[in-house]
Amino acid sequence: MPSDTLMTASYHAMLVTPTIGIITDTKVGQSMMVKVTNPDGKTIMERTYGSKGRFAFTTQQAGSYLMCLSSEKGAWTQPDSKEKPTQQRLRVNISFHIGETRSYYKEAAKNEEMSRLKMETMRLSDQITRIMKEQDYARSREDVFRKISEILNSRVLWWACVQVLLVVVVGVWQVTHMRGFFIKKKIS
């Protein structure tokens, strides 16, 4: 993701009973731990939410961010009673949104008493800025890929040169060895 980009995610955890095909909401009080790690491996957000919620963070640097959603171990899928053991699984629906949402622009328009045209202009300007950031990020990734490709290409070239040199050296050695063998056996 490019730097200085707002990332918003909303999720909803549900219990699934595959044997009877029922999907139900989780019990009240169940929680999900959300942990976000930046490209350097540092945790930028670690927080506990309910079974349904949304979280957001802004990227500080360009790169791949790791998002981990985890539940309380076993608390969601434990059977309610010993007589009726159920095989339940946790299903999490998650959706991501990059950049500002429409509600942000509506709130900004109300707070600043902007006309609809000004609001749309502001939204389009932000969208253009986001696209430019994504293009810059793609260019930087392309540069890294190009450098890696050039290094790999030069190594392949050198490896081919070493192979050719090795074949020539082995050929010369075989010719001199065979020549010496034939001279020694007086077959020339």
Q: Residue 55: name the closest of 65, 64, 63 by CA.
A: 65
pTM of the model: 0.52
Q: What pLDDT does 131 receive?
A: 87
pLDDT along the chain (188 residues), means of 10: 81 79 70 87 87 85 85 58 62 82 66 73 83 88 94 96 97 93 80
Which residues does 4 contact at the CB level (< 8 Å), separation at least 6?
A: 58, 59, 60, 133
CATH number belonging to the domain at 1-70+88-99, selected among 2.40.160, 3.40.50, 3.90.120, 2.60.120:
2.60.120
Q: What pLDDT does 77 receive?
A: 53
Q: What pLDDT does 105 receive?
A: 66
* Cα dihedral 77/81/84/90 (nearest 10): -10
CA distance 55 to 36: 10
DSSP classification of residue 64: P
Q: What pLDDT does 11 receive?
A: 87
Q: Where are the domains of the chain?
A: 1-70+88-99, 101-158
CA distance 124 to 122: 6
Residue 61, CA distances (Å) to 38, 55, 92, 103, 120 in order: 8, 19, 28, 26, 28
Say which residue the tokens 């090795």 belong to. 166
Q: What pLDDT does 52 receive?
A: 84
What is the identity of the amino acid at 147? K
